[in-house]
Amino acid sequence: FPMAATDPQVLALAAEITESREQDIPLLLLKLNGILNSPSLGREESNKIKQDIYDYGLTQYCLLVLKRDHSQLRGAWATAAQLAEILSHCCVGLEVKEDPEEFYEKFLPSAIDSLLVLGKRLQARFIRAIKDKEKQDFLHWFQIVTDAICWLFHGHIQLAACVLQNDRFLQLLITDDVETAIVMMSMLHNILRINSSVLLQVEEETLHSVLDELVYKLSSTTNPAVGSAATKLLLLVAKFCKQLVQLLTARYKGLKGLLSKQWTGKGFDRELNQLLDLLYLEQSNGKGEMQKQHQAACIIQAAWRGFQTRKRLKKLPQAVITLQRSFRAKREQELQHLTKQKEDEALKLQMQLQRQRAMRLFHERQLALLEVVHASQVNKYMEEMEEKSALTIQRFWRGYRERRIFHQQKQSLKEYKAAIIIQRAACKFLEKRRRRRPLSPWKEPKGLTDEQRLALQQKVDDYIKLHPASQMSEERSKELHMQAQAKLAQFLLRSRLDQRAAQRREALLAQVNTDVELLMNAPGLAETTEKDLGAFMSRSIPVATKARQTHNTMLKYTRWPWWKKLGDEFMEDDVIPDDAINTELETLFIGGRK
């Protein structure tokens, strides 16, 4: 806080705001209005109080409150409007000596932006309001905020350009509401009256937007108050600078007719006539220059047209030749297209006739063969023909599939070879760079310092204290080791015996299955021979029997007709389905022991 003598009211208010809750701060800040408007204060005392208010951060508090949601404040929009007025009064007449850039370049533009935002919200609430009482309140608060803005840039002239360049100012000006539009044009009038050169300081786009809105209001409304305010603004703009008069005359061609026809006799004829005189004077001064420019433009156009005509006449024979060439080329192209179309149609008709002739010959040949072939051989002949047809179809399908796979693999092989070449080049490059790089000298790893070693030893001791190891004698350890070895030997012996018993059970079970199948397929006792007895007495004869049965199954599978093998067209020729073999081998026993 500053060390100079401070106003006791400001000091007490700052202390109260520091100790109070956040929602009570806006109402406490309203007490600044009574402090600033005290009748006993002179000019120097008022400036001193404003300096104290700024030094104690009360002005920043006002700005922060204005940036919040105003509907949540106590007193809502009325409190916000009063705080805006207090903020403008605190900033006018204030001369900041410590860190002036923070005040003039950041704080004041931020205050202008916050006040314009508040004005935009009040304007929107005023337009949406239905009751007359609410509209009057919102319009009153809106006027307080605009007056605060005017008072602020009245004390700081450099803020006029900041106000005009702010997008929210244009949003406030561009409205169809009569009351708020008049208020905004009045604020613009104050800006131009205070700082008449501000229009030359803003960007051209901003200037055009302001002038467009003023002219639009003159053309779109019949309200005398709006027309008077817009006319006075345009008159002030025209009186200030001749360049702006030229801009009005050149940019808005029908402005003079609009003013004279629509707004004559509306109660502001004196300002209207002054504006029309300025516009007509600019037009009369520019007529001579315009005539000279018109004559110069006519001369240039005549010379250009003559040059173009002579150039076109020189190029006329070449153009005729080009046109004839393009016509002949187009006609030749059409003739070629018609000839090709006729050839395609003739070829299609010829192929259709050949196909019909081949089908007729095929049917005649079939009928002739059916007459020659015996009736009992017709089915066999038809089966052979179907098999040949199926083989032909399969042959073409396999050829198509292999060609497609070959093309796919060809691209993959090309990519694989390219990858190998790239990898080889990269490996060679890395090897060369590795050889060129000098070997760095070997560095010993950094050892532990005494402090690190002591800290690590302390951690180990702490861990041992927290997790002490269980004590066991040497005799007890040897005894436990002998018990574990004895149990491991018993387990291994038992598992080996169980494994042998399981193998013997599997062998006996397979032998029983083989014997059962042989007994089921054995002939009766009256038909039994010595050869049949040998099958039950020898262990190799059942194996040979099952091998012979499996061989017969494979031969039977190869003799199947073609239509039974359609589902296996992608199988190899020497592969037999597992189901056909398993049905024959599931009971086969192979003698011997492991």
What tens digit of pLDDT does each residue of 156-211 get?
A: 777 777 887 788 888 888 887 888 888 888 888 888 887 777 777 778 888 888 88
CA-wise closest residue to 218 among 267, 259, 170, 273 = 259
Averaged pLDDT for residues 383-397 = 90
Question: What phi-psi label fits residue 252: left (phi over 0), alpha (psi between -120 and 50 degrees) or beta?
Answer: beta
Fold of 8-284: Leucine-rich Repeat Variant (1.25.10)
Read off the pLDDT of residues 6-59 as tens digits, 9 standing for 90 and up: 677 777 777 777 777 777 777 777 777 777 776 666 667 777 777 777 777 777
Residue carrying structure tokens 């004196």: 270
530 vs 214, which has greater pLDDT? 214
What are 172's two structure tokens? Answer: 């406030």
Residue 445: the pLDDT is 60
pLDDT, position 570: 41
> 96: which residues sit within 8 A by CB, 6+ positions away?
54, 102, 103, 104
Distances (CA, A) of 263 to 61, 184, 267: 48, 21, 9
Alpha helices, H only, 252-268: 255-262
The pLDDT of residue 421: 92
Which of 142, 225, 211 is CA-nearest to residue 182?
A: 225
Average pLDDT on 494-521 reads: 83
Give the CA diameter of the chain: 150
Question: Positive or negative CA dihedral for 160, 166, 167, 169?
Answer: negative
Closest among 21, 117, 18 to 69, alpha carbons compared: 117
Q: What pLDDT is attached to residue 88?
A: 78
Would you call 248 helix, strand, or coil by DSSP?
helix
Highest mean pLDDT among 71-80, 387-396, 447-456: 387-396
Radius of gyration of the chain (CA): 55
**Model pTM above 0.85:** no
Beta strands per DSSP E along 9-125? none
Cβ atoms of 545 and 535 closer than 8 Å: yes
Q: Decide: helix, strand or coil at residue 252.
A: coil
Among 179, 261, 182, smallest CA distance to 227 is for: 182
- Our measurement of the distance from residue 384's CA atom to the centroid of its chain's CA atoms, rounded to an integer in Å, reads 66
Average pLDDT in the 205-223 region?
81
Model confidence at 349, in pLDDT bands (50, 70, 90)?
very high
- Count Cβ neighbours within 10 Å for each residue of 428-442 and write b for 16 or more, e otherwise: eeeeeeeeeeeeeee
**Predicted confidence band at 353 (pLDDT cuts at 50, 70, 90)?**
very high
| pLDDT above 70 for 558 | yes
CA angle (267, 272, 276) in 5-degree steps: 155
Q: Which two tokens stand for residue 404?
A: 């497609």
Ramachandran angles phi, psi of 275, nearest 5°? -65, -40
Other beta carbons less than 10 A from residue 115's beta carbon? 26
Question: What whole-number distance in Å separates Cα of residue 143 and Cα of residue 118?
Answer: 11
Listed by start position, the domains of the chain span 8-284, 380-417
Percentage with pLDDT > 70 across the chain = 85
Report d(CA 498, CA 359) in Å as an integer.
75
